[in-house]
Structures are given as structure tokens and as C-alpha cells.
Structure 1
Amino acid sequence: MSNVSMILAFLIQVGPNPAANDNLGLPDELLNRPPRESSITAPQNPTTAWLEDCLDQLAEDPARAHSKAQIRLTETSGPDRIIANHCLGLAATELGLWDDARGAFISARDETPVDEPRTKARFGLMAGNAALGGGDQEAALLLLQTAQRNAQEAASATLEALAAMDVARVLVALGRPHDAFVPLSRATLLEPEKAEPWLLTATLYRRLERLDDAQEAIEEAARLAPLEGAIGLEAGLIAVLSGREDAARQSWQSVVDTQPDSPAAQTAQSYLEQLGPPSGPSLAPKP
């Protein structure tokens, strides 16, 4: 592995989706998911030591990390600039400086060697999510589609599926929900044993009132991740809209029982209260 490859393998991880809007009707705990790939340990050297220090500062004082990365950019070249832009983008994300974050991640992507498409894809994902966080949906779509192509070049099914799901979210935000089925289908094909693309598919079908299709998709998601709170919430919504109130109560109560202290449980409890007791009037809870 080249020195550049080793450093990039160490430093890159796909961060949370910073988009402010819940474009597919999903709860925050799913959309703002934690990093999906762990950093790979690399031998310590001045470059990786600087990155570790910057990331430590990021957790304590993102403004200071932001300044530190800006200074580093004026002093370095090559892989060190990529690393500085990486930390700068993360710090800008923490500070809500979406344009700064997007620019830093794009610079990091563009300065990454052409024979590192996997790393380019990861930076592209972060740039696209930063654009979405700043409300620039058209730019986000282009960045995420490019990231998906980079992931294809890298033959990384996981990264391509992540990019495809984010592309689908942006298409929904742009008022193109039917177009979103194409990238979602690609994501389920690439990662058939992952629950998230099936959940997103179910949610989209439900929002388009295609409840039979939504039911099939949510059943597959539940098979893959039976204890995921977001899946229980969505299963209940599909059930109640299909006129199966008892099934909805069962789904939401299971979320409350298995994850009593979670945000999903709080949402499930509010849905149960909106629905009322079994003998009460029928109300479709508002997602």
C-alpha cells in the first residue's frame, strides 16, 4: 500500500448525514446515523499525529480545530492538504458552516489521487451531505451522483449503496419521489441483507400511498433488523393507514417495550396516544 493510500485509509470515515430535513419521513436517529466505517489503524507519523490532534480538538472546540486546519492548509501540500481539508470539513460541519464544509470536502476529493476512487467517493458523500445541510439540493444531487460513480469505480458495494440512498433522499426533497425508486432499488440490490434501504423503500411507498408495496418492503426490513425502532415505527404507520389498527398498536408497543428510553419509543408512545384505546375512534397518527 502506498504512503498516500495508507494515510487516506487511516483518516477517512463517512460521517453522519447533516441534512436538516427528514426527506423520507424517517426519525432523526436513522438519518443522523453514526459513522458507518471505522478508521483503519495506520502506523503513527507526523501526518497522522496531526490529524489525531485535530480530531481531538474537534470534539472539544470545533472552532479551534477549524482555525488549526485553515492554518495547516497554508503550510502543506499533497496528502497533508487532503488531511487538513478533511479536518476542516468536519469542523465546519460541527459549526454549521455548510459552504465551508462542502468546499473543504470537494477540495479533499479533487486532490485525492485518481487511483483512489474509494476515498474520492467518501469525500464526495460528505460534500453532498454538506450541500444538503446548507439547503442546496441541486448541488447535493450532483455531488452524490458523482460519489456513486466513484464508488462504482472502486467496486465498493457498501459505498455505492450509501451514495444511492442519499441520492434517493435528495430526489425526494426535490419533488421527484418516483425517480427515487431507481437508486433505492440499486441500494437493495447491492446490500440485500441491510435493512436501511428496505426501510427507505417502505417509507417512500407509504408516502405515495402504495401501501401493499410498502408492507412488503417493511416486512423485509423487519426480517433483517427486527429490533430496529425506526422499522417498528414505520410498520405501525403502514398498518394504521391500511386500516389494521391492532397491528399498528402491536408494532408501536413493541418499540416502547424493547427500547423504553429511546427517541423511537417516545415517538411510538405519542402515536399510541393519538390512536387511542382499541374501543376509541380511529385516528391516523401524524408521522
Structure 2
Amino acid sequence: MLLFFLAQAAQPSCTDQIAADPVKAAETAQSWAARGGGALARQCAGLAYVAQERWAEAATAFEQAARDAKPNEQLAAANLWVQAGNARLAGADPRGAVAAFDKALVSGLLSGPAKGEIRLDRARANVAAGDVQAARADLDEALRLVPEDPLAWLLSASLARRMDQLDRAQADIAEAAKRSPDDASVALEAGRIALAAGSLPAARLAFQAAIKNQPGGEAAKAAQAELDRLGGSTAPKPE
């Protein structure tokens, strides 16, 4: 989740309180907001809710902070909409996330890599919302803006596989692997693409690589499940 503070001097005790007691920090931030703390106070509340994984409350706080931002704080407001979008996405509200990312982008204040990362975020939200065409457009733009980000290539490959565009999926996962050769998630997706293309040996090798690259991780567990489903294959022994 992208974190952005409106001002470096914004209530220095806020982050300290969140680390010590996020529940108390949220109460303090809400009290601060009631006394006229404005966007800074509401952002602090949002961060406290994030620490508690109270995603809906966090998103609402970030949205309120964005609306409370002063005219000379509109870049900060755009970043607050990004925070809101990520909180909505974490809280399984992809349509709310898309709406928040839309507000961040429509400001026109975010450009270059920052804009590319938001397009990645909105692509994830659009996939979760079931709008694959919108997700494809977001990913294509993200690849233009942040071509060195392996996540952009990984997400693009995964979406291409889901859309049964296997040639593109294979090309994009190869780009992801160039940029992050030891990433278990990349190896997992490579295996799924190989499986979709009917190449069982390549799929098994990729799934085994995912397990070797990140033993015990979520991608490794998913890769082992794929191997178990295929049968007749076991995870590589630790070296």
C-alpha cells in the first residue's frame, strides 16, 4: 500500500502511537479530526485502521482526508485517493477501489512511474471486479510507464492466460522472469501458462522452481498444490 504524508511534520506522534497501540491511535486521530485536524488527522486515522486491517474504515478515512485537503495540497490528495483505493481493494471492495483510483488519476497530478503504479493497482481492482478489458488497458499503459517493474509483466501474463492469449502470456512471463528470475510468483505463473499450453514437463519444472525459490511461501504452496494435482511429481529436495 502506498503511504504518503501530507507534511513531514504531520503530528509526529501519530506513527509512534500506531506502532505502540493502533486502536488508541485511531481514537486519538478521530479526536484530533474533531478539533479541526483536517486531512492530516484523517490520514492518521486511516493509517491506524490499516494497522488493524479495518479496511473499510481506513478507506473512508483516506477519502475524507483527500476531500479535506487544501487547494495547495492536491498532489497529496491524489495520493490519499491511492491509499483509499488500496484499502478498498484489501477489503474486497474492487469497485470502490476502481472509483478511488479513478479520482487519483483524474487529478492529472500523478505522472511517470507513480502513474504507472496506480494503473497497476487499478488493473488488479478491475480484474477483481470482473472487467478484464479495462484491466488489459490499465496493464498496457503500466507496461509503457514502468517497463522495468516485474510485477507489471507478471500481472499482464496472468491476465493474458485468463483471456486465453497464450502467446502473449508466454512472452510477458518471460519478461517478468528476466527482471525477477528468482521470484516464486513468476515461476508459479510460468507453470500455469505452460500447463495451459499443454506442456506438462515445462509446467512441472516451473512449479518445482517456485517451491525451490521460496520454500514455505504462498506461491510455493500453490505450486505444490499444482504438482499434487498433476500427480507423479514431487517438490525438489532442499540442497
Larger helix percent: 2
In the other structure, the counterpart of 2:171 is: 216
Identity of aligned residues (%): 34
The counterpart of 1:105, out of the listed 47, 51, 62, is 62
- Confirm or deny: 8 A CA contact 1:121 1:159 kept in the other structure: no
Q: The residue matched to 2:61 in structure 1 has which SS?
A: helix
In the other structure, the counterpart of 1:282 is: none
Residues 1:232 and 2:187 aligned together: yes
Counterpart-to-counterpart distance in 2, 1:224 and 1:114: 40
In the other structure, the counterpart of 2:109 is: 153
The counterpart of 2:2, out of the listed 14, 23, 26, is 14
User: What are the ranges of 5 or more consecutive residues in structure 1 without an aligned counterpart?
Assistant: 1-12, 16-36, 279-287
Counterpart-to-counterpart distance in 1, 2:46 and 2:97: 15
Equivalent AA in structure 1 for residue 30 of structure 2: Q
CA offsets 1:52-86 (integer angstroms, 9 cap, x no match): x3223323322111111111112344xxx322211
Pick closer, same or farther for the CA change 1:138–1:266 going to 2, 3 Å: closer
Residues 1:241 and 2:196 aligned together: yes
The counterpart of 2:88, out of the listed 121, 125, 131, is 131
Counterpart-to-counterpart distance in 2, 1:117 and 1:220: 36
- Confirm or deny: 8 A CA contact 1:89 1:104 kept in the other structure: yes
Alignment of 1:1-287 (within 5 A): 14-15=2-3, 47-48=9-10, 50-51=11-12, 53-77=13-37, 81-150=38-107, 152-155=108-111, 157-277=112-232
CA offsets 1:7-26 (integer angstroms, 9 cap, x no match): xxxxxx715xxxxxxxxxxx
User: What are the ranges of 5 or more consecutive residues in structure 2 without an aligned counterpart?
Assistant: 234-239
- Confirm or deny: 8 A CA contact 1:145 1:163 kept in the other structure: no
- Confirm or deny: 8 A CA contact 1:201 1:214 kept in the other structure: yes
Counterpart-to-counterpart distance in 2, 1:173 and 1:259: 26
- Confirm or deny: 8 A CA contact 1:148 1:159 kept in the other structure: no
**Taking CA–CA contacts closer than 8 Å with sequence separation of 6 or more, which of the two structures ends up with the larger relative contact order?**
1
| TM, length-normalised to structure 1 | 0.73
- Residue 111 of structure 1 deviates from its aligned partner by 2.7
- Confirm or deny: 8 A CA contact 1:129 1:140 kept in the other structure: yes
- Residue 256 of structure 1 deviates from its aligned partner by 2.0
- Confirm or deny: 8 A CA contact 1:117 1:154 kept in the other structure: no
- Confirm or deny: 8 A CA contact 1:122 1:159 kept in the other structure: no
- Residue 253 of structure 1 deviates from its aligned partner by 1.4
Q: The residue matched to 1:153 in structure 2 has which SS?
A: coil
Equivalent AA in structure 2 for residue 169 of structure 1: R
Which segment drifts farther, 56-65 or 175-184?
Answer: 56-65
Equivalent AA in structure 1 for residue 26 of structure 2: H
In the other structure, the counterpart of 1:4 is: none
Number of residue pairs aligned between Structure 1 and Structure 2? 234
- Confirm or deny: 8 A CA contact 2:78 2:104 kept in the other structure: yes
